[in-house]
Amino acid sequence: MWLIPAIAAAILIGLDQATKLLALANLKPIGSMALIDGFMDLTFVENRGVAFGMFSGQRWFILLLTGLITAALVYFYLNLPKTKEYKYVRMAMVLIFAGAIGNMIDRIFRGYVVDFFEFTFFNWPVFNVADIYVVIGVAVLAFLIMFVIKDPEEEKKKDE
């Protein structure tokens, strides 16, 4: 039950790390380049905080927090009901886990997270592939919790 998600997470983390290595090799020396003119640039940023620069310079706190979050994700993943309706919840959790680990690897080995995608048509923080995993995973998880997953007590009341 855990082998396929572990392989999926490893592949996602590998893709994230590969894109960051490309950014380090190609973007760090030049700083920035247009990807889609007027829409998105590739801009090298050493992010020493979390989203929107919060906790900047608090590397050990961020690592501890990320460790706790990933441990909670693993715990809840392993304790979810083993039914089909939780398949998408598991997928979302794998995305969040892969994103958290991808950025944690950067913080451990570089002391900062490599960010490189920058929207140029509005002001938004520079981000990376791991951030995309987390955002998509959290959005899917929120949608499932709010609109799809039904509380067993709620189901019982409907049936009566």
| Residue positions annotated with a catalytic role | 115, 131
Q: How far apart, in whole angstroms, are the C-alpha atoms of residue 145 and residue 77?
A: 14
The whole-angstrom separation of Cα 100 and Cα 59 is: 14
Q: Which amino acid is at 48?
A: R
DSSP state of 54: T
**CA-based nearest residue to 19, from 125, 131, 95:** 131
Number of Cβ within a 10 Å radius of residue 96: 24
Question: Rounded to an integer, what distance in angstroms lies between the CA atom of residue 29 and that of residue 36?
Answer: 20
